[in-house]
Structure 1
């Protein structure tokens, strides 16, 4: 930061040569004159000195016979003097600023989003002919609340509209109401939005329909969230008409997603014990054996049986039988491979959550190692969309409504 103050104050880069330079700098220091960036080579001393201090060193120069040469002028005062000699530069800068301010005060782009029935051309034509807002119009002429109100009154099928200005763009975002199918002459069926899973609602925006739950409520799978039928009441507060408007909205809930995967070890290794041998000598039809199979008839011990035969002539041979007990244990290679597979699939599950825009609040999944398997279990606490569009209410909800009606009728009786 110091160089900024030096530049604002203004300074000179000087070369000093000859005379008594040591006495010169002592006099400057005694008078409070600051010199910095000092260096000396080949009889020349280089230093920097403030502009206002430079005017004070003249008597010291005469006393010490030092020759001072100004090499470079730096600072705000010299920069202003430089600009004063170049009036064209000032005019160009002022012109650029004026043009920039003029252009940024106009609308040069229009963007529309959320429209399907009303085309961009139709909306642009309305803004141009009725509101006198077109490409190149002043931004101050586009008053957001007035435009929003006029669009809703002019286009009755628009249920919600937002107009905002970003830079030189006019952005119009709107929502259209559910329309009837004019070709078939039938009204669109009422739609409902029900809970696809159990969870606690953390955010809810209803664009059309009647919300049946609120933020903070805990809902179960299949529970009605937004009703697509709007009931119109008469003066006696009785239902005069049920109008299908179609349920539309965004509902986000905190949901617990359970995760459980098991990866058994498919490969095993054997730990062999001490081997036993049996040697048999054969001479034609006669044989003589030394040793025996100690594991014959014992189903609790598994063993390998290896046989070696060495012949010495017709009917003469020696047979050697080796019996090796063993126990099977999981292979370290299989355990490592299964653990790597478990970690990879767990990472893929988390990545799929992120790709869907699901926010993970808690990750309570653990990888457990056992003697014969790798087990991954736990749960994720996430925030994700909860609503599921349905053309008919679930049977459970219909039965509940019928039960409530019957109970109400019995009370009347």
Structure 2
């Protein structure tokens, strides 16, 4: 139904009133000539109104002559009539043409670079790197090489293990996965051992390739071999015939303790808002900025919210509308009570633990205490964590040659 209405507006239609004594004959002749009308409404016995397409209206002349009816045009609707009425407005049509050209130009460019999945590397840092590579907002889509962008990001940041770059509408989307960075990269076919990079107790071990040297519950020291890539080939007498070397592969998790220390003064600055809140708006087009508000003075705080203008979900224009709130505030010095200080210490500990969880570290338990020491609130103790270990250590050729001899 919606599409039919759009087509009617594109081709144009006429709302007309037909009057006369031979209305039935008029309708029958229209049907025989495939002239279609809709929304027929009888005003009385010898008059009715109807809608008809503009191209069919021009075919009514011979039917009207035969039946002697009178046809009165009540309304003309649609683009053909709109253009005809405004044919002398050259500036209007020039503006429409310019708008179409502008939209066509803008759809061929990247107006939004969206990055998701990054934790260790900030979005601003990655955008600055992309700008150095020539990937900026407003660049032509035909100049964007997604595979080259993904490869350059992986080369720049060792923590990033996987990057996907694709274009949707006027947006460049980068999906990132971060892993544990390693100084020495070893190919999957190179013989290597897995060694411990930290001291701890092994809690879980799943070996896919290689010979486990340690088992669950064993204590491991930094640098010790956990899974060996050296395989001993035995004969029937259980004597070593030869050695073979593989790329050790395993998921190993260890439990270890880390120290935690945090302190902050009981005296702290608190900002309190006062007076009325003044509101304003601003517009931003690329680097051009127009603010419809008074600038904030000293002891005033600004809070802004920015909304990009979209034509479709993925067609984001380089135009933003922002709302801003300006409010007065004053700074007061306050002192935490013991209860407030402990709550603040707990919140800081939770933020610290959240960062560890984001880096793939599990928290088993914590033994942390908070005490008030003069004008300081001190939190100290240990946290029991579980994290992945297993650093790939290449088996050198000299070692393998000595073993084979």
TM-score normalised by L of structure 1: 0.38
Structure number having the greater strand percentage? 2
TM-score normalised by L of structure 2: 0.39
